[in-house]
Amino acid sequence: MNADDARGARPTGGWVALVGGGPGDDGLITARGVELLQRADVVVVDRLAPRGVLDGLGADVEIVDVGKTPGHHPFSQEAINALLLDRASAGRGVVRLKGGDPYVLGRGVEERMACEQEGVPVEVVPGITSALAVPASVGIPVTHRGLARAFTVVTGHEDVPDLPTGRDHTILVLMGVSTLRRNAALMMVAGRDPACPVAVVEDAFGPRHRVTTGTLDSIADVAALARVRSPAVVVVGDVVTLSPHWSGAAVQAGVTS
């Protein structure tokens, strides 16, 4: 059920929309996401969601920032779920504005299920995931004819699982800055070529935008020297060589631009 149907679905008229805000640029949120924001009474927003889209909202719209930073989670997932239910049960339209796509390494399903269990109408609006948009923003396709025919998206919060080891299979690691050294080592132990190209793309649509490149066996040292910080997407595979940020020097020592 979407928010349009929800107006007449419950006596209170409350609803929740889980809106994927895209990779951070205000222009990359979907038209449906913008429409729901304009109708919302409450917006519950993540740290990596596009903040500029909030500027045009009415002064009476309640904005609740539940953003998490590494090591600092002021709102638990249970608290966020309760917040959504509280506002919707009071008859208010609630947009849960998330970065990327609600279902790509996010907690969108948990929030949807919490709403459904309490009979609150909920709509899910897909967003452009940073796993695809961030590499594209620096000229890296996740697949390319003759170079890469598949890709895998994994979280860097945990050790990378068993993955294809060929350089023609692109690995995209989200939230993987703090575990970069360990996960690079695990990929090499599993059989991936130490000379496999790697790019770390920081803050792709923000003021700290930067690309650091190297090889699987050098990238941790290069990133440490460059003081790479989150948010960032790590791209592992031969597709990295298609980026204008890649150069022959990167094979030896890494490049930051």
Do 91 and 178 reside in the same domain of the chain?
A: no
Q: What residues in the chain have per-residue pLDDT under 70? A: 1, 4-12, 69-73, 248-257
For 202, the token pair is 């920081």
Do 76 and 183 reside in the same domain of the chain?
A: no
Do 122 and 137 reside in the same domain of the chain?
A: no
Do 92 and 161 reside in the same domain of the chain?
A: no
Q: Which of 128, 148, 169 is the last residue of a domain?
A: 128
Amino acid 56: pLDDT = 86
Do 14 and 113 reside in the same domain of the chain?
A: yes
Do 153 and 71 reside in the same domain of the chain?
A: no
Cα separation, 224 vs 50, in Å, equals: 28
CA atoms within 13 A on the CB side of 34: 10
Cα separation, 185 vs 158, in Å, equals: 13
Do 135 and 249 reside in the same domain of the chain?
A: yes
Q: How many CB atoms lie within 10 A of CB 127?
A: 29
Q: How many CB atoms lie within 10 A of CB 97?
A: 29
Q: What CATH number is attached to the domain comprising 182? A: 3.30.950.10
Contact 154, 161 (CB under 8 A): yes
> 113-125, pLDDT tens digit by residue?
999 999 999 999 9
* Catalytically annotated residues: 46, 68, 175
Do 229 and 143 reside in the same domain of the chain?
A: yes
Contact 95, 19 (CB under 8 A): yes
> 52-61, pLDDT tens digit by residue?
999 989 999 9
Q: pTM of the prediction?
A: 0.89
Do 96 and 199 reside in the same domain of the chain?
A: no
Per the structure, the count of domains in the chain is 2
For 55, the token pair is 């500027």
Do 112 and 156 reside in the same domain of the chain?
A: no
Boundaries of domain holding 230: 131-256
Q: Which of 106, 128, 150 is the last residue of a domain?
A: 128
